[in-house]
A and B are shown apart, each in its own frame.
Chain A
Amino acid sequence: MLTIDDNKTGVIRLSGRLSAVEAAQADTVFDQIETTCTIDFKELDYISSAGLRVLLKTQWRLMETGHGLTFVNMEPSIKNVFQLAGIDEVFDGEWEDQK
């Protein structure tokens, strides 16, 4: 189960799981983002390629207008998924300490 809290302007908090089951739900929220936005991963326990695709699609779209996503509070296991997929550097985030 995925919970997406977007009550605070410019910040989206993810909690739970972002697998193929939740990707469509995430898409509907991320499709609404039109400007630079922070994604808070603190409560996210799991992500797979379905979740990466949601974030990557959003990032490509935002980059066209000079905007982008910034990732904060990523657990090592979540960070690792982005790094093993090779797409970590596409996003602003605290990647260095894991390398």
Chain B
Amino acid sequence: MTMERRFQRDLNAVDKVFDFINEFVTSFKVDPSVAFPINVAVEELFVNMVLYNAESPEDISIAFEKEEGKVIIILRDFDSDPFDMTEYKAADVQTLIEERKVGGLGLRLVKNMMDEIYYEYKDRKTRIKLIKNLDA
């Protein structure tokens, strides 16, 4: 079973995204402890799509599926430029601290909070699939 919804390319839509995650977590009886990392990962990727692909007229799609022992999250951005976040190497934390920078935190959180991340890009469409394992 899948829940899918489309959201306006607007930072203020983040609140609606949180509401949608809450609906998913409640109706699929997902352990509340994974709601926090799902909120963070989805917010980070959604906000990146809003900020770095601001020109696209298309809405952004977010979908959730629950399978045995895991949650699958799919974000799709249409009419987008390629950016493979799985290949992106942010400055390491030590450099960030030494140089007093603030970049790369969001993608670091996504990578550390999710168990698997897959990136696909075809015909100007971006598809990011996240998997969060559920404790048995």
Residues of A within 8 A of B (CB): 17, 19-21, 46, 48-50, 52-53, 56-57, 60, 63, 77, 80-81, 84-87, 90
Residues of B within 8 A of A (CB): 11-12, 14-15, 18, 36, 39-40, 43-44, 47, 93, 96-97, 100, 102, 105-106, 108-109, 112-113
CA distance A57 to B36 in the complex (A): 24
Question: Which A residues touch B105, using CB under 8 A?
Answer: 49, 52-53, 56, 85, 87
Answer whether A84 and B96 are a contact pair too, CB < 8 Å, given A20-B43, A21-B15.
no
Q: Is the interface of B mostly helix, strand, loop or mixed?
A: helix
Task: Decide: A53 and B112 in contact? CB cutoff 8 A.
Answer: no
Which 7 A-B pairs have CB atoms at the shortest separation, nearest pair first? A86-B93, A49-B106, A49-B105, A60-B100, A84-B112, A53-B102, A20-B47
Of the listed residues A19, A46, A50, the one surrounded by the most CB atoms of chain B closer than 10 A to its CB is A19
Task: Decide: A21 and B14 in contact? CB cutoff 8 A.
Answer: yes
Of the listed residues B14, B40, B97, B106, the one surrounded by the most CB atoms of chain A closer than 10 A to its CB is B40
Q: Which residue of B lies closest to A88 (CB)?
A: B93
Question: Which A residues touch B109, using CB under 8 A?
Answer: 48-49, 81, 84-85
Answer whether A21 and B11 are a contact pair too, CB < 8 Å, given A77-B36, A86-B93.
yes
